[in-house]
Structure 1
Amino acid sequence: MEETNVSLRLLINTESQKVLFAEADKNFIDFLFHILSLPVGTFITILTKQGMVGSLGNIYESIENINITCLQPNLNKETLLKSKVHISGGGTGVTLLLPKVKSPSTSRYWYRCSRDYSCYSYVSNDSSAKCPNCERSMNDNVNFVDPPRATNVGSSSSEEGYVKGVVTYMVMDDLVVKPMSTISCVTLLNRFNVKDVGVLEEKVVDLGIDEGVKLLKASLQSKTVLTDVLLPLLKPEGKLESERQTTMGGNGADAVAAPAGGGAPAAAAANSKNEENVEDTGEYGD
């Protein structure tokens, strides 16, 4: 799976400071759909045990700490903690906005009985298993063959992933996905009771692995995922903009500051005037 940055075009209500929806292409939708194919163990590996919601992190830690003598002989801890994702057909070539989880290097083996054809329908992952047909050990190694990469039935397209790239998609704040259309946009504006389109602002954000992890975590505990994760990405830009406006509008401040810079001549003039007054006072005193 390739790792690339993904861009999203957000429509933001500046009054309520919420993302109404995002305009997304195939890459982001493939990423969202791919989340559902991840094993729970992979979620915990990516988010860390401390970042998990609920008690799943405790189960993960229990597997880490359990003595291997308690496990079945053909089972490796890594197969539970870092399960490898197998996807047939669609799902290949998905843009991955998540860190790669190193799957266990040990392969699982399959065995069958080699006595005759009537025993070939039985397969085991343990070479000490007994054939249900003849009671002999099933110790004949069987090689697993990956299926060919498939395309949709009746389609000659070789495009990978889950969805088609010719469609532009609308992603709601709660990650509801639907094809983009003008009618959908108008319906949403009515749904959110937007009377003045002047309060709407369009922003483009670029997502990398850090943002992908945040989206994964927020999707487990929030109904306003895009607002929670993506709006903070725009705040530094807004801060810089406000500072820029302050600087541009600070010409008056510079004008006020100028006398302060020229305070030395003014102070000298004042001191000179005071000296004159002292001399006059001295004359009157005489």
Structure 2
Amino acid sequence: MASNMAPKQEQTFTLRLLVDREKNRVVVAEASGDFIDTLFSFLTLPLGTIIRLLSNNQQHDQPAELGCISNLYQSVENSSVEVFWNHICKEMLLRPQNNCEPLCRKLKLNVDDTESLRYFMCSNCKKGSNWLLSTFTGASCCSCGKSMDKEMKLLGDSEDETHTDGVFVKGEAMYFILDDLRVLQSSPNNFVKELTQLGYRNFHKLIDISPCVGLKEMLELMKRALTSNSPLSDVFLASEESKPLYTFSPKVGGKPTQIKRIKIFARKSLKKIVYAEAEEDFVDFLFSFLTTPIGSTMKLLDGNASLGCINNLYKSVKNFSSLWFMGNSNDLLLDPQVAPRFGLRTGLQLFSEQQDPIYYYGSNDAISRNPSLVKDACYMKLFEPRFSDGFKLGFVKRPSLFVVWDDLHVTPMANASSISLLQNINAPLDDLEEHVISIGKAEAINLLGASLTSKAALTEGLFSTS
């Protein structure tokens, strides 16, 4: 029987571009707040989500080059579930939650296809004040072991899909976007200033075009924002693809205060790390990059690493007057934070994880964050899929040993043949030497920066300042 429901129409924007045809370059674009909202929402996306979205939108078999962090993602993808504490831990890294998801859900065009939070309880257990709630599909009840399959509706949660007044920025205003993704408030003064600085005294060399922008174009714009110095021209004028544009300036740290020691094997002649032997907590640290939003990453790196034009997008938010934002959305964009229960809690922790929200369950068989909305409200405990060892929470099983290659491919040591490993290195055995390296906060930040900008993250992150 044919469905009477019409397919949901894809949301699009109309973008106004002033183009220099001689140079085949976008000089400036003008857009509404809806477009800027989606553009700024890039900063809220976890790195794992960015890798997945760009891989799914891959064109002409050309993957988006973003250092070697995609190798971390592939390592998770290719690892068996047995490497992790459970299948949920693996899925958390492949499809991390966006801490700003409730806001992004209200965008006119949301590039993130990650499923919204769902809520599950065990239909078998009756535990009174110890009700357990899971926000993860397929969790097993800690008490009876059965699947938590009773889906609950969250009362008091807004179901509005759009904001008429804007989501991050005020929707009724107009904005300028330059080819390098600097965003400015729309005003004749800003327009004249920017065009004269670019060498234009009038409109004689410029033509006006108005492309329709949908999901495909926004995903391509996100890719170019991370890899190019002219994203608008690359996407809308089909200009020749720019070479990846990265810079990285490692921080020189003093004596590490939060110490993690790993064993590395290096080529003496090349002064290059070949691979590291690492325990589970170091691999958890690397994998946690995937759950971290790009906005929080830019804040931590503080200009020491540059990825295409995403830094300009970040600086635009920083330089805007708070009056142009909705509520405290500028603070959210500058540091979106890791979603609750998706972060890392070890000595190498770099990012703050948003606190767990509090939920209540009532005798009216409903849940809510507001206890007044449920009858006989009882506080609920949240299901924790990560391994808990005191204050340490991790994704991979303990104890475990891994091989971490210089390009951040990660392989369980149990799956690695020593003979094959040495054959793959293809180097004289007397050119290999072993070191034990101490890693503190500065080294950890360097590893993060190198993972986004280099194909040799261990060498660039750990050897560059030694």
| TM-score bucket of the superposed structures, by smaller chain | 0.5 to 0.7
Equivalent position of 2:441 in the other structure = none
| Alpha-carbon displacement from aligned partner over 1:67-98 (angstroms, at most 9, x marks no partner) | 22221247332221122434376434212263
The answer to whether the aligner puts 1:31 opposite 2:51 as a matched pair is: no
Q: CA deviation at 1:2?
A: 8.1
| 1:202 and 2:214 aligned | no
Q: Which residue number in structure 2 is paired with residue 177 of structure 1?
A: 183
Q: Distance in 2 between matches of 1:206 and 1:22?
A: 13
Letter in 1 for 2:37: D
- Judging changes above 3 Å, is the alpha-carbon distance between structure 1 residues 219 and 109 closer, same or farther for their aligned structure 2 residues? farther
Query: How many Å separate the matches in 1 of 2:104 and 2:110?
Result: 14
Shift of 1:127: 6.5
Aligned length: 212
* Deviation of 1:145 (Å): 4.7
Per-residue CA distance 1:200-242 (angstroms, 9 max, x = gap): 2111111122211210110111121111111129xxxxxxxxx
Gap change, CA 1:3 and 1:52, over 3 Å in 2: farther
8 A contact 2:65–2:227 mirrored in 1: no
Query: TM-score by structure 2 length?
Result: 0.39
Which of 87, 94, 100 is residue 81 of structure 1 equivalent to? 94
Q: Decide whether aligned partners of structure 1 residues 90 and 150 sit closer, same or farther in structure 2, where only a CA change above 3 A counts.
A: farther
Structure 1 counterpart SS, 2:221: helix
> Unmatched 5+ residue regions in structure 2?
1-7, 57-62, 144-149, 240-466
Shift of residue 159, structure 1, vs aligned partner: 3.2
Q: Aligned partners of 1:81 and 1:109: how far apart in 2?
A: 24
The answer as to whether partners of 1:42 and 1:82 remain within 8 angstroms in 2 is yes
The aligned residue for residue 113 of structure 2 is 101
Give the AA of the match of 2:168: Y
Of 48, 51, 54, the residue aligned with 1:47 is 54
Q: 1:147 to 1:32 in 2, by over 3 A?
A: farther
Give the direction of change, closer, same or farther, for the CA distance of 1:65–1:108 in structure 2 (3 Å limit).
farther
Q: CA RMSD in A?
A: 3.8
1:193 to partner: Cα distance: 1.4
CA contact (8 A) 1:2 1:93 kept: no
User: Which of the numbers 64, 70, 75 marks the counterpart of 2:83?
Assistant: 70
Name whichever of 84-93 and 58-67 sits farther off.
84-93
SS at match of 2:15: strand
Indicate if the aligned counterparts of 1:79 and 1:104 stay in contact, CA closer than 8 A.
Answer: no
Where does residue 231 of structure 1 map in the other structure? 237
Query: How far did residue 12 of structure 1 move?
Result: 1.5
Seen in structure 2, the aligned counterparts of structure 1 residues 3 and 197 have a Cα distance that, compared at 3 Å, is: same
Task: Quote the residue 1:18 is aligned against.
Answer: 25
Distance 2:73 2:116 in 1: 16
Amino acid at match of 1:10: L
CA contact (8 A) 2:33 2:174 kept: yes
**1:174 CA displacement:** 1.2
> Structure 1 counterpart of 2:23, which letter?
S
Unpaired runs of at least 5, structure 1: 130-140, 152-156, 234-286
- CA–CA distance in structure 2, aligned partners of residues 212 and 75 of structure 1: 29
State the AA in 2 paired with 1:47: L
TM-score for both structures, normalised by structure 1: 0.60
